Chains A and B, each alone.
Chain A
């Protein structure tokens, strides 16, 4: 098993006719992922073609899901319209909405997240690389790639990876793959202050997934999501966890104002988070080059 998505998960792409969405829809098709529908309001009835594959385009998410059995959406809609696209997924009762879009206003996300309460749809992102469950073919092809991650760096295996950052996730995945260690699922939860799924949500899923034997959790400065996850890991997680926190050298106060520091408390600096990771039994990577090795110090695979 894997978490959230499997090789045969049926994917629809919102914004498939835009440059960004089209490009990554093609890459997902090349990887062997089941991209079965596109959604662009007003372009229903058209067909997205790539390498001999024909993907029908619909006007609405509900129609796309009904006609094709798609259960997951990859959202590549521009920022002013992205929250609307997310809400449309909730309305269509999809399993999962993955919002790749960067630059969505915070207020839109505050409202969208509130609207998610009580709905069955899980949101990942926004401002995230998406997620990959590697396949078993050449260079992990045949897997489920939703979003913008490079597929070929993966390898099917037993390490779960969760991170806010895209390229830092690729760094960790590639280190694992180069050491012969594959991944169950790699999830980028996104770098925005308001996101649909937290580190802890993903850690719980990995903890319950029989295929996942070990976990790499990558965090950064700001907020307390990593700390919350670390404390839960200490109490409940049955699997070895390695972690890395980016931003030890980031200048304080560049993003956060006065009162933000009050809300965040003293636990949102890199040093504080690293200390809490260590106290919670997480093997901390000293540098970003050390992420896979930090895991291999406590897990032999």
Chain B
């Protein structure tokens, strides 16, 4: 689960991680009140709150440029905020449709420090799971304010990693290693050790999947601040963090994915025209692959889990049919334990209930498969049967492409 920058910074502040002071609001009527709560003498940052990166370089659909704006005066901040709120921001990560901005975050503008070479004094810090070791890893770099992939590709020597042994947690020497690797000394060194320690505490206690601070910066006054914050949580651990669940913003999630989750379906929309409905994540992914292999284009990932009940299949069809691009459906079920005849009956009922008119290819395999195929054939519906994944994929691609 992802949260907004302002929510992440509120959590940072609770854990003692230094952030610029800010106030988030959801209506224009609250703008003035919000600005009154922060020190605006050094200028204000006006930040669109959406769950996607690249906001600063983004463009709104009405042509207004920049989802994050420095505003030297209150008047300019109000003007920028009014232009952003309710407007749709398109960034490199949102896709063409963009995201509607429903929250504006005003923060005190930090007075950026400079390095001897004249560059902004910005750093990078992240904490996440290293899958290779199964240990949390802290990733730090002197090259903040840019894409970390870019740094990793061009100057890998400027990325430092510290693995944290979960048996003992983050040790003081490790926080010092990070601070030394970033070149800090004196008071900034102490600030960095504190910030890394608190940030790790936050990551661990709140079951984060990833915490990323980019940039972490040093102000002219010598303060180390988390200027941006990107936080995601482990969905499996949400049951023990009701405070985190309360931060969920359904506006930022795909309506179809939310609907799917209510029926125990795992659904991800893609941009193709052949929908698929599969049991098991690995089989679902490879069903998408095989559609593409035979010249089609998958419209979604949809895993119905271990079973495939009538209610699930009906709900899945309804979700699939909500995508106007869909021109055909491939159902691929390996009914290992479940009776294929029960699955077939469920599919027929779902077709009838949803009034499905699109081409439908069903590939059933497993327990009692012959009876299942016979039931489909006897249904009087135009359901095409596939004998193998390859056969079924070829059939649906042909049906869709020949229309």
- Which residues of A approach B to under 8 Å, CB–CB? 27, 79-80, 103-111, 113-115, 148-150, 152-153, 163-171, 174, 191, 193-194, 218, 220-225, 244, 246-251, 253-254, 257-264, 270, 286-290
Contact = CB atoms under 8 A, between A and B. Distances in A.
Interface string B237-251: 101100000000000
A249 B274 CA distance: 13
Given A167-B280, A259-B210, A287 B306 contact: no
Contact of A257 (B210, B292, B334): B210
- Most-contacted residue by chain B among A103, A108, A167 (CB, 10 A): A167
A96 B135 CA distance: 22
A168 B286 contact: yes
Nearest to B93: A253
B58 interface: no
B172 interface: no
- Most-contacted residue by chain B among A191, A247, A248, A287 (CB, 10 A): A287
Nearest to A249: B288
A165 B134 contact: no
A258 B388 contact: no
Nearest to A251: B270
Given A150-B337, A246-B285, A286 B293 contact: yes
A153 B139 contact: no
B69 to A, nearest CB: 23
B298 interface: yes
**Size bracket, chain B contacts:** 35 or more
A220 B284 CA distance: 11
B379 to A, nearest CB: 24
14 contacts: A105-B234, A165-B282, A167-B278, A167-B336, A223-B132, A225-B131, A246-B286, A250-B301, A257-B230, A258-B53, A258-B147, A288-B286, A289-B388, A290-B390
Interface in B283-308: 283, 285-293, 298, 301, 306
B177 interface: no
Given A148-B337, A257-B128, A258-B149, A263 B137 contact: yes
Interface in B114-139: 126, 128-132, 134-137, 139
B286 A244 contact: yes
Nearest to B272: A249
A247 B282 CA distance: 8
Nearest to A270: B289
Contacts of B40: none
Contacts of B149: 258, 261-262
Given A171-B389, A247-B289, A262-B139, A110 B282 contact: no
Given A167-B283, A262-B149, A264-B131, A257 B204 contact: no
B10 interface: no
B298 A224 contact: no
B148 interface: yes
B390 A250 contact: no
B166 A150 contact: no
Q: Which 4 residue pairs of A and B lie closest in terms of their CB atoms, listed nearest first? A: A165-B282, A167-B280, A150-B336, A105-B237
Given A152-B367, A289-B290, 6 more contacts: A79-B239, A193-B131, A221-B285, A257-B128, A257-B232, A263-B128
Contacts of A168: 280, 282-283, 286
B333 to A, nearest CB: 9
A106 B280 contact: no
B152 interface: yes
Contacts of B152: 262
Contacts of B365: 171, 174
B112 interface: no
B281 interface: yes
- Most-contacted residue by chain B among A109, A218, A260 (CB, 10 A): A260
Nearest to A262: B152
Contacts of A263: 128, 130-132, 137, 139
Interface string B343-380: 00000000000000000000001110000000000000
A258 B286 contact: no
Contacts of A152: 367
B147 to A, nearest CB: 7
B207 interface: yes
A254 B93 CA distance: 11
Interface in B204-232: 204, 207, 209-210, 212, 214, 230, 232
Contacts of A224: 131-132
Given A166-B280, A220-B282, A114 B367 contact: no
A248 B53 CA distance: 24
B30 interface: no
A287 B290 contact: yes
Given A106-B209, A171-B389, A262-B152, A165 B283 contact: yes
A114 B136 CA distance: 11
A106 B135 CA distance: 10
B370 to A, nearest CB: 14
Contacts of B279: 167
B29 interface: no
A106 B390 contact: no
Contacts of A221: 285
A113 B334 CA distance: 32
Nearest to A288: B286
B230 A288 contact: no
A288 B283 contact: yes
